[in-house]
Amino acid sequence: MPKPDEARKRNRRGGAARASEAVGVEIPFGKKNYAIFALAAIVILAGYVALSQGSITLAPILLLAGYLILIPWGILAK
């Protein structure tokens, strides 16, 4: 029979406790989220390209759509 001190040392090293913690782990973003983030990056990049070419109507629309619609949608999508 193990002594109480030995059992405490084993628990400190994280024997069985870590296995129970890993059961509830969930990855926060899936493939859908990353696809929306990629789309947002493309739209934002297109907005900056349009801005560098002197567009005063298309560039703000693309930038606002990327920053205010697509990125929050990518964060909140399940």
Task: Give residues with Cβ within 8 angstroms of 71, minimum separation 6.
Answer: 37, 40
Structure confidence by residue, pLDDT tens digits, 49-73 = 999 999 999 999 999 999 999 999 9
- Residue 46, judged by CB atoms within 10 A of its CB (0-12, 13-18, 19+), counts as middle
Q: Which residue has the higher pLDDT, 21 or 42?
A: 42
Question: What's the predicted TM-score (pTM) here?
Answer: 0.67
Tens-place pLDDT, residues 26-50:
878 999 999 999 999 999 999 999 9
Cα–Cα distance measured from residue 40 to residue 29, given in angstroms and rounded to the nearest whole number: 15
Burial status of residue 73 (CB atoms within 10 A of its CB: 0-12, 13-18, 19 or more): middle
Tokens of 37: 């983030």
Residues 40/74, Cβ–Cβ less than 8 Å: yes
